[in-house]
Structure 1
Amino acid sequence: MKKFPLLFFFLGIIVLSCNKNNDAPIIEEEQETPVEEAKLPADYPAQDFMWQAMNSYYFWQADVADLGDDRFDTSEKYVDFLASESDPGEFFYKICNNHISVVGEAQAVDRFSVAFENYKDLVNVLSGVSMSNGVEFTLYAFQDSNDIFGVVNYIMPNSDASNKQIKRGDAFVGVNGTTLNRDNYIDLLYGENATYTLNMADIIDNTVTENNVEVSLTKVENFSENPILVSKVIEQNGVKIGYLMYNSFLADYDEQLNDVFGNFKSEGITELVLDFRYNGGGRVSTAVQIASSVYGTKTDELFLKARYNAKVQAIFTNREDETNFSDTTFGGVAINELNLKRVHVITTTSTASASELVINGLTPYIDVVTIGDKTRGKNEFSITLVDDASNGFFYDPNTEENINPDNQWGIQPLLGRNENADGFSDYTTGLLPTLPLEEDISNLGVLGNPSEPLLALALNHISGETAKYSRQPSMTAELFSSSFEFKGTNNVSSMTGLIKMKPKD
């Protein structure tokens, strides 16, 4: 952006007038007209940071006129633009490329960039720390009605809900005695009240009926979810099969995750089922770790190649935009590898981002069998940016003192797309399952139990008995929303620690 000096004008006015009782002119005292001091970019620190960061790194920078390098030919015009939207959050979404919050889902290009008023809240949610009562659920719409109902997907261990009479498969139709509908569900389930009561229901003969049971739940501040919900070894027809229910790619649990694969290795498993059905993504470095555990720590083979905007792409000179399989976790611990030729992955429409990246990154090397429903289709990656110009706006927990004290906003904009070794990244509409099967609302089963429908299908495929398995759920409904959409790691592929930008020599 061109820089222009700001000009200040002051004008003193001498007014001559005639006294009607005296023909002699009277010289009035000189008056100075007050002039409003011109505004500077620093007067709009959040908007200025957002524009500078988005102009530099945003994936669609070249497609957004307001982010153009030659958009403003004077500083005054630039400042006027920053001042055009007083709410920094609204300003951010307006400079995105047809953001879903601005144009709606049907016309959206950018569906996943987000902004937080306090960067610490953004950092926390990306670390799996949030205010939660421990219930994850899916909301469904009643046919020909504005009302909706919920079904519990799972309960987080050590949460408030883990001590209550509520479990996977339970249904609810109201909150605090008010029937849930398309218009009130956000206020009732995600409102300011930390405590609320769910009005439960029974599902009998494909009919949802309120049963007068109430469950009181309280959200706890700074609750940290362990994404490793279930890990076990299942032996079937003499074959040892590892099963991992993994719900978010969180770096804080990388070593525990590595231990899970170490146990699989010591147990001698020859097949693996990764259950990503509710996993909306998270850290790409953890995706690299999982893929390396599955396929092998082949550090000379490409796992992903990042594609940025033209300005950023021009910085790379020697494969800095490529990430190979790894032999250590992000924390430097040797990765436990299984060296499998095949993996089964359970997916639903809640499977997104880093989860899809594992599937796509492994596909060129081994047989990836997906079971369930089409994935979300989030093929872009992002990173946390804050107002720290000295670090190129990249968030670094070790240099928080450099963040502008006048601007605590944090943004997570989309920076690019990751290709696999075959150059494929075109799955915006989702990855189709190898063996399709929707979850049965009336029979969700117990996660990790061999009889749970999606796992049962995976086990049948491993044993070669897929033809004997019925793929028709007895009850489905129109998916309306889910608690996963409100999780901080949902639809996130964070490249934190993997972006290796450096100036050309």
Structure 2
Amino acid sequence: MTNHKYFKTILLSAAIVTMGFCFTACDDDDPILPGTGIETAQWSAVNDADLKGQTLIYEFEAPASWTALSNEEWCEVLTPSGYQGKSSLRMKVEPNDGKLGRSAEVSVQIDGYAEPCVLIIRQGEGVVEKGEGRFRDINQWTLDIMSDYYLWNENIPDILLDHSLDYDLFLAQILDGVAENDDANHDDGLWDNGERVSYYSNIQSNAPLSRATGESYNDAGLAIQATILGPNDDDPCGFTVMFVTPGTAAEEAGVHRGDFITKVNNIPVTQNNYSQLGNSLLNGNVTVDLNSVKFNNGVATITNRVPSVMIAKSSYIDPAIYKSTVVTAANGKKIGYLLYMNFHMDYDSQLLQVFNQFKAEGIDELVIDLRYNNGGHVLSSTVLGTLVAGQSHQGQTYLRTTYNSARTAAGEVGVYNIGEAANPETANGYDKISQAIDSSLDLKRVYVIGTRITASASELLINGLRGLDIDVRLVGTTTQGKNCGMEGWQKRAGNYTFTLYPITFYCENAKGFRDYAEGFKPDFEYDDTNIYPGDFGTMEDQLSGIALTWAATGNKPSFESTGSRASTGIYVLKPTNEMKSQFTRNMGGSRTIVKAM
């Protein structure tokens, strides 16, 4: 005979399990009621929570008093207990900042019932997608290139990636993923006090993060530092002009390095308003007072040079060569001086002209000022290396590029030779390199001014010449330490252009040396941060004066770095981001020609 009551219980249990609830049979000796006791509830077996976090509220009927508990801290039960009748289960779900989806089990136990009711709270499934998914095609293109060409590509296939992110964040998660593997890509990036400031690898769109030499700007065309001319807070405050870009409104207005600006739009510069006034000054369309500054025993004297001059806002092209001149020393030696701000192929013809002039004037020594040069094209660096090294080194290796293990195993290597047009980038060669032989100086030594900004193709010049046993005498502070370079790929998608520059090779000289990730230490160390600037390439400028003195006499100057506030009477205030960007706006890196796809 069939037990209809028992049969009915089985059917009911099966139906509830389908909804995500569970009951168990009751032991005849146990007074505890079978199942969970919950027959009406708003939750499901699996409940999705927003990745950004939220508070979940579910109503249910409780046949008796109850308690609730979560097995994950990120899913906090706000109502840990309740009473019989209509009840609310509330949970606070924290944002999911991880790469993977996650789930928590929340158990609701009714007093007197055998089993808790367990519901699942889920935040994402598999790899969590947190973006809008607008750039999936570009992200796949980026992943393909990084997987094949990135210098540290071995563990990229194992990285969990969210393809829904915007293109810049997608690249960042690849780079971060590689870094998580024992800091494999340590050399890809600028470091400061043990912290990575940024990666060198980058991707740009029609609205790039930075613009390169040769591109158009629309501002005043100068770089400034907010400065106090003395050790006391009530000493004169203003803006020291650090450089003026040739062909800009500031140059046309007569502004030059070493000018001291005390008023902007007739408002005196103070420690309280310098940020706002400085950004206005950099943008242009302002009136300023220009002053000259002289120091006597550490005390500054300010002389008004040009009152109320207008600095307009204008469009201009930032050149690579800011200044070239020949200085005749007291002993008759002729010293060439070149202020070179970026290695850019568009200015290689002008570079040849500068060295033709140096050659015509019969210079004995050469000073190359790279203090604000953070890199550029490898081909342009090879041109400058050829102009220095000359015919005695023609055909010798200036740079050897080494790639990731897969490309190396396939026999791929890139070589750039002094005076030879053939190179890994252009099928027909680059004739400016071979032309540079006729304009070259055949120097045995060269004096280079460098700072923390000096990087990549600038450091490539130092390393490449030293590989040829040319004596490179470095003046200033330790350089940035970028011993690797980038190849570029470009893709058009709709109305947008994307350019990807991943680090893909190490830079070795003819001796196989590439271990300068900590930068090149100067032969004469001098930090002029708190030294009031003079004109480039003159004895009035501290770093130029050291290099020119050394070049003229052949003897390393004996005085040591000071640079203290007490001895100079100058204090530099914390710069705004806009002030900083004027010194590093050119896109650095040892870069090759972009490949269109």
Q: Which residue of the partner structure matches residue 286 of structure 1?
A: 380
Listed as ranges, the matches of 1:307-318 within 5 Å are: 307-317=402-412
Q: CA deviation at 1:434?
A: 0.5
Match of 2:364 among 262, 270, 274: 270
Aligned 8 A contact 2:397 2:418 in 1: yes
Match of 1:330 among 427, 430, 434: 430
CA shift, 1:378, in A, is 2.1
Deviation at 1:352, TM superposition (A): 1.6
* CA distance in structure 2 between the aligned counterparts of 1:440 and 1:192, rounded to whole angstroms: 20
1:82 is aligned to 163
Distance in structure 1 (CA, Å) of the matches to 2:347 and 2:135? 41
Is residue 2:151 matched to residue 1:59?
Answer: yes
> How many angstroms does 1:464 deviate by?
3.7
Q: 1:137 to 1:191 in 2, by over 3 A?
A: closer
Q: Who is 1:231 aligned against?
A: 324
- Of 537, 554, 557, which aligns to 1:448? 537
1:412 corresponds to: 501
Q: Secondary structure at the match of 1:243?
A: strand
- 1:46/1:407 contact within 8 Å kept: no
Matched, 1:358 2:461: yes
- How far apart are residue 252 of structure 1 and its match? 0.7
Instruction: Please tell me the residue identity of whatever aligns with 1:367.
Output: D
1:383–1:415: 8 Å Cα contact kept in structure 2? yes
- In the alignment, which residue of structure 1 is the partner of 2:240? 151
In 2, Cα distance between the equivalents of 1:479 and 1:490? Answer: 26
Whichever residue aligns with residue 435 of structure 2, its letter is A
**Cα deviations by residue, 1:263-291 (Å, 9 ceiling, x for unpaired):** 11122222111111221211111111111
SS in 2 for 1:69: helix
Name the CA distance, whole Å, in 1 between partners of 2:530 and 2:441.
34
Change (3 A) 1:478 1:377: farther
- Between 1:417-426 and 1:41-50, the stretch displaced more is 41-50
Against the structure 1 CA distance between its residues 444 and 260, is the aligned structure 2 distance closer, same or farther, given a 3 Å change threshold?
same
Q: Given the alignment of the two structures, is residue 115 of structure 1 paired with residue 203 of structure 2, yes or no?
A: yes
Secondary structure class of the residue paired with 1:409: strand
Pair 1:45–1:207, CA change in 2 (3 A): farther
CA contact (8 A) 1:350 1:484 kept: no
Match of 1:492 in 2: 589
SS at match of 2:240: strand
Partner of 1:301: 396
Deviations 1:434-459 (A, max 9, x none): 11122264532111224432222223
Q: State how far apart, in whole Å, the 1-side matches of 2:574 and 2:309 are.
A: 22
SS of the residue corresponding to residue 108 of structure 1 reads: strand
1:161-193 Cα distance to aligned partner (Å, 9 max, x none): 112253212345897769798999599639996
Task: Give the structure-2-normalised TM-score.
Answer: 0.61
* Matched AA of 2:398: F
Q: In the superposition, relative to structure 1, how do residues 248 and 457 fare at CA in structure 2: closer, same or farther (>3 Å)?
A: same
| Cα pair 1:45 1:406 within 8 Å, conserved | no
Q: Distance in 2 between matches of 1:89 and 1:458?
A: 41
In the alignment, the residues of structure 1 paired with residue 138 and residue 517 of structure 2 have an alpha-carbon distance, to the nearest angstrom, of: 31
Moved more, 183-192 or 406-415: 183-192
- The equivalent of 2:116 in structure 1 is none
Q: Distance in 1 between matches of 2:201 and 2:191?
A: 14
Kept in 1, the 8 Å contact 2:219–2:283? The answer is: no
> Which position in structure 2 is the counterpart of 1:131?
218
The alignment partner of 2:528 has SS state of: coil
Considering only aligned residues, what root-mean-square deviation do their CA atoms show, in Å? 4.2
C-alpha distance in 1, partners of 2:218/2:470? 39
Distance across 2 between alignment mates of 1:53 and 1:339: 40
2:189/2:197 contact within 8 Å kept: no
Distance change >3 Å, CA 192–CA 290, structure 1 → 2: closer
Tell me the SS of whatever aligns to 2:212: helix
Contact 2:214 2:320 in 1 (8 A): no
User: Aligned pair 1:436/2:525, yes or no?
Assistant: yes
1:9-24 counterparts in 2 under 5 A? Answer: none
Question: 1:42-100 CA distances to partner (integer Å, 9 max, x unpaired)?
Answer: 962232222222222222323xx5xx23557xxxxx7xx201x2x32222222224599
SS in 2 for 1:356: helix
**Cα offset for 1:124?**
6.0
Shift of 1:316: 3.2
Which amino acid is the alignment partner of residue 420 of structure 1? N
Q: How far apart are the structure 1 equivalents of 2:201 and 2:462?
A: 22
Q: Is the CA contact (8 Å cut-off) linking 2:372 and 2:584 kept in structure 1?
A: no
The answer to whether the Cα contact below 8 Å between 1:239 and 1:269 also exists between their aligned partners in 2 is yes
Task: Give the residue type in structure 1 aligned to 2:430.
Answer: F
What is the distance in 2 between the residues matched to 1:102 and 1:267?
A: 40
1:371 aligns with 2:371: no
Distance 2:547 2:406 in 1: 44
Per the alignment, in what secondary structure is the counterpart of residue 593 of structure 2? coil
Q: 1-side partners of 2:455 and 2:218: how far apart?
A: 22
The DSSP-based 3-state class of the residue aligned with 1:430 is: coil
The separation in 1 between residues aligned to 2:457 and 2:308, in whole angstroms, is: 36
Q: Indicate conservation of the 8 Å contact 1:278/1:484, yes or no.
A: no
The reply on whether 1:96 has 2:175 as its aligned counterpart is yes
Structure 1 length-normalised TM: 0.71
CA contact (8 A) 2:533 2:541 kept: yes
The percent of aligned pairs where both chains have the same amino acid is 27
Q: 1:105 to 1:371 in 2, by over 3 A?
A: closer
- In the alignment, the residues of structure 2 paired with residue 330 and residue 459 of structure 1 have an alpha-carbon distance, to the nearest angstrom, of 33
Distance 1:218 1:258, change over 3 A: same
Range that drifts further, 131-140 or 373-382: 131-140
Contact kept in structure 2, 1:58 and 1:414, CA below 8 Å: yes
Partner of 2:435, secondary structure, is coil
2:339 to 245, 268, 275: 245
1:321 Cα deviation after fit: 1.7
**8 A contact 1:378–1:491 mirrored in 2:** no
Between the two proteins, the alignment pairs up a number of residues equal to 426
Task: Give the Cα–Cα distance (whole angstroms) in 1 for the partners of residues 394 and 225 of structure 2.
Answer: 39
Which protein is bigger by CA-based radius of gyration? 2
- Higher relative CO (Cα under 8 Å, sequence separation at least 6) belongs to 1
Q: Which residue of 1 aligns with 2:279?
A: 189
Judged with a 3 Å threshold, the aligned counterparts in structure 2 of structure 1 residues 486 and 53 are, in CA distance, closer, same or farther, namely: farther
Equivalent residues of 1:227, 1:250 under 8 A apart: yes
Residue 292 (structure 1) shift: 0.8
Q: What residue ranges of structure 1 are gaps of 5+ in the alignment? A: 1-40, 73-77, 388-402, 500-505
Provide the residue aligned with 1:345 in structure 2. 448
